[in-house]
Structure formats: C-alpha cells, structure tokens
Amino acid sequence: MTAHRINLALMIVLALSFQGSLYSVAIALNNAESDGLWAFRKHNYKAAKESFDAALNHDVDLSKNQERRAFVLYQLGLTEAKLGANSQAEQHLLQSLALREKVLRPTHPDIVQTCRALESTCEQSGNYKTGADCYRKEFDALRTLFGADSQIALDCLENLTQYCQKHSLWEQWGESLKLKLALQEMRWGNDPTKEQLFQMSVTRELLADSYKATGNLAEQENQLRAVLKLRQSVLGSDRFEGGDGIIAAPLLNLGIIRIKQHKLSDAETFIRRSVEMVVKLGDPNRATVYLNEAAQNCVASGQAAGAEPYLKQLDALKGKSGAK
C-alpha cells in the first residue's frame, strides 16, 4: 500500500511539473508566442501557426534561449498536427526534442511530453521507427521516475509492444517483449502463481513469434520450449502428457520449424500431437488450419511430397466432421 501511495504521489508531482514547466516558460513569452497559445486554446490553429512561425523567425532571443525555443517548436508541432501537416509537425517536434535533450535531464517531464506528441505524429506520418524510439525514451524516463513495476511505466511498455507489433517492427517488438518478460520475472519472483506462469508463457510465445518474423529459428525454438515448460508447470505433468489446448499451438510451431529444417519425420511427430489435441477438444476447424499450415510449409520449403500425409489427414478429417 505504501508503494502505491508513493507512486501516486510521484505521478501527481509529474502532472504538476508539466503544468509548472508550461507556466515557467509562458511568463517569459513575447507577444507572438502569447498570441499563438491563445489562438491554439481557441482552436484557431491557422492563426496559432502564423504566430509561432513569427516568433521563430523574428525573435532573436530564441536563438540564445534553447529551452524557450524548444517550447515554441513544440507548440508549433502540436499546431501543425492539428492542421494535418504531419510531416512538418514531426520535423518541428523532433527539433524540440533534440533541444530539450541537450538542456534538460533525461527524465524531465517536457521530454516525456514531447515523446508522447511524437508517438502519435510519427504514426500518422508513417515514420514508425522514430515513433517506437520515442515510446522507448518515454518508458526509460517513467521507469527511472516511478520504478519499473509502476503501472504508468508498465502501461507505456505495453503500448510500445503493441505499437511495434502493429507496424511490423520485429526487432523492436522482440526487445520490448524481452523487457516485459524481465519485468514479469522480477515482479513475480521465485514463487509465481499459475496465472502468472501462464502470463509469462504468453509473453514468451509472442517473443517466439518475433524471432520467427526475423528468421531466427533457433531462438524461436528456444522460446517455444520455454513456453511448453511453463505450461507444464501450469497444467501438471499428467494433464500435460494427456494433452491440452494451450500446448497445441507451440507444438505446431515446433513442427513447422522442423519442416523448415527439412526434418520431416520430427515435424510429423509434433504436428500429429497438436492436431490430436485440438480434435480432442472438439475443434476440427482449428485442426484443419494446422494441417493446411503444415502442408503449405512443406510446399514452400521445396518438400511437396512431405505435404501428402497432411493432405490425407485433412481429407479424412473433413470426411468425419464436415470441417471446411
């Protein structure tokens, strides 16, 4: 409870520091910047842009006061984003971030604030890698400020993970999943519950997918085997040996790896067991998907003959269940 109160207090401090930072800069604004802020608050973004442009082009003090210049660039970027000029917005927000990183500490709220604005803008402009870099900077700052297991840091990491997966940033996705797994292991210690073990296995299964996307079959297999070990702890040995739906997909993927390695006999063992499990669960459509995937991987890897057993099983399954 005490830790939660501390984290809550720190979050309040962060929120206030955002407001305080804005105020400390605002009191020193010239007329153009003040006009720009006023127009922005009134949703008159065209007028706001004109005012911020004027401040940047005509205020000689901005060339000397980097913190103030970063503030104006930030406000200009926000304004351009509202106008739909994402490329310009991204350029000015990046300039603001570069200045703020020079003159402020890495955990300063203004840096976190700028990163958040860039995350959205970069997604709109299609500059996904820069957006992911900003999520990571935000996470590092929040982790330092509030602790790696604070909810605000965990939420940021989850956003980073989903962002990388959504935009096919496979290496960054893998790195974010490694961070997530390390935090899970740290938070849950040496005696995790079955639910926590299962959550760690889900993270490892996603990590295996990230290695699959980058073609690293060895690491994909390592993670899948770790998934099976965790799920055996969740299920117990008898249930694990008897078969269960939560181990069917990892077994299938181990079989696909063996197909890609041209080890068709080993592949068949994994895939047969995974298909048997989902059929036992009364899910013939899922079994159909598994058999189709196995056959397609045989063909794609130049082993068309290896697809025949799976196609025969597929026909037999369709005949018994009417699966499509």
Q: How many domains does the chain have?
A: 1
Say if residue 98's pLDDT is above 90. yes
CA distance 49 to 37: 10
Question: Both tokens of residue 157?
Answer: 């990491």
In which domain, by residue range, is 65 found?
A: 1-147
Under 8 Å between Cβ of 11 and 146: yes
Predicted local distance difference test score (pLDDT) of residue 33: 86
- Check residue 31 and give its pLDDT: 79
Tell me the pTM. 0.82
CATH of residue 24 = 1.25.40.10
Does some domain include residue 82? yes
What is the DSSP code (8-state) at residue 168? T
In a domain, 75, yes or no: yes
Give a yes or no: residue 35 inside a domain.
Answer: yes
Which tokens go with 77?
A: 């970027």
| Residue 31 placed within a domain | yes
Mapping DSSP to helix (H, G, I), strand (E, B) and coil, where does residue 231 land?
helix
| pLDDT for the residue 50 | 94
Q: For residue 261, is pLDDT > 70?
A: yes
**Tokens 């973004």, residue?**
45
On whether residue 207 sits in a domain, the answer given is no
pLDDT tens digits for 70-94? 999 999 999 999 999 999 999 999 9
Query: Would 89 be classed as within a structural domain?
Result: yes
- 24 against 248, higher pLDDT: 248
Query: Could you tell me if residue 324 is inside a domain?
Result: no
Q: Mapped to the 3 state alphabet, what secondary structure does 292-319 carry?
A: HHHHHHHHHCCCHHHHHHHHHHHHHHHH
Which is more confident, 324 or 145?
145
pLDDT over threshold 70, residue 106: yes
Tell me the pLDDT band of 243, cut-offs 50, 70 and 90. confident
Average pLDDT of the chain, as a whole number: 88
Give percent of the chain with pLDDT exceeding 90. 75
The string of pLDDT tens digits covering residues 11-66 is 444 443 444 444 444 444 567 888 999 999 999 999 999 999 999 988 777 878 89
